[in-house]
A and B are shown apart, each in its own frame.
Chain A
Amino acid sequence: MEVRLEIPSLPRMELTAAQAAGALARRIGMSDDTAEAVGLAVVEACLNAFEHGGGGDVEVVIKIHDGGEPRLVVEVTDSGPGFDPDAVAPPDLGRALHGGRKRGWGVSLMRRLMDEVTIDSSGGRTRISMTKYLEAER
């Protein structure tokens, strides 16, 4: 089963994708807390696409696999030039509170809230793929 959305890069549209992901997460038995955490990861992936994707529509595909290892997979794709996540220094709260940069928590949140995250920037698009396994919360 999958849900496919084309969302414009507009304020609060990230919530539409998050709500769809949360609904499918619950459908395969994830708890409300896990579904909400998945929703936040989707929010961050969409915000990243809005910010770096050149302002065009963002494609969000949410799939559930309920056989084998039940899991939810979310792919967020934009048409921007992308970025190298390994080249971006992880956020540092101590530095942020002493005049440093306060943005940049999105990738850290995605990686900690989901079980697997890959970011692929190539061919004029960037795709963030995130997986959450049902078993991981048990």
Chain B
Amino acid sequence: MNDGLIEVKVELPTERVGVVAASGYVNNEGGEAIAAAAQGLLDQNRNDLLIDLAGTRIINSIGISILLELLEKVLDRSGSLSFCNLTPTVAKTFEIMGLSQYASIYPDRPSALGDLQARAGGDA
């Protein structure tokens, strides 16, 4: 179990897409760190966000609630929220929630970016 303090990095791989790479335990602090990084991207009008959870093994229910606030905000802006690199436990958590109805889930970052770029019509 990766129970380390959250580390968040922002990357800008294309013009439209912003990536938030999160490593560590996603509790209230972790969720808020991800949400703050995502808000910075939304403020730059990057409305297609990819959360890369390669370094995250556990998202608790408080972290979930914060991610849902972020998802609501993105959908209100007609943007998209995607996730990649989920561990089996995080994938199971999202499956229990039914999150794939509202957010795209990809096995890894290249497949996520490829699809997001294609959906944007190649403008990225």
Are A97 and B92 interface neighbours, CB within 8 A?
A: no
Partner of A47, one of B1, B61, B88: B61
Are B68 and A43 interface neighbours, CB within 8 A?
A: no
Interface of B is mostly: helix
A56 near B: Cβ within 8 Å?
A: no
Partner of A105, one of B58, B61, B101: B61
Question: Nearest Cβ in chain A — how far from B47, in angstroms?
Answer: 16
Q: With A39-B58, A47-B60 as known contacts, state yes or no: A93 contacts B25, CB within 8 Å.
A: no
CB neighbours of B16 from chain A (8 A): none
CB neighbours of A104 from chain B (8 A): 61
Q: How far, in angstroms, from A33 to B90 measured CA to CA in the complex?
A: 10
Q: How far, in angstroms, from A12 to B60 measured CA to CA in the complex?
A: 11
Partner of A93, one of B58, B61, B98: B98
Categorize the interface residue count of chain A.
Answer: 20 to 34
A11 near B: Cβ within 8 Å?
A: yes
Are B72 and A97 interface neighbours, CB within 8 A?
A: yes
Q: How would residues 57 to 70 of chain B score, 1 for a CB under 8 Å from any chain A CB and 0 otherwise?
A: 11011101110110
Select from chain B the residue with minimum beta-carbon distance to A16.
B3
Are A106 and B87 interface neighbours, CB within 8 A?
A: no
Partner of B1, one of A22, A105, A106: A22
Question: Which residues of B, 23-46, contact A by the 8 Å Cβ criterion?
Answer: 25, 27-29
Q: How would residues 25 to 47 of chain A score, 1 for a CB under 8 Å from any chain B CB and 0 otherwise?
A: 00000000100110110011001
A113 near B: Cβ within 8 Å?
A: yes
Q: Could you count the A-B residue pairs with CB atoms below 8 Å apart for me: how many are there? A: 83
Partner of A112, one of B3, B62, B96: B96
A118 near B: Cβ within 8 Å?
A: no
Question: Which residues of A, 41-63, contact B by the 8 Å Cβ criterion?
Answer: 43-44, 47
Q: With A36-B88, A102-B68 as known contacts, state yes or no: A97 contacts B61, CB within 8 Å.
A: no
CB neighbours of A106 from chain B (8 A): 61
Q: How far, in angstroms, from A11 to B63 measured CA to CA in the complex?
A: 13
> Taking beta carbons and an 8 Å cutoff, which residues of B are in contact with A?
1, 3, 25, 27-29, 57-58, 60-62, 64-66, 68-69, 71-72, 75, 87-89, 92-93, 96-99, 101-102
State the 4 A-B residue pairs at the shortest beta-carbon distance, nearest first: A102-B65, A105-B61, A102-B68, A33-B88
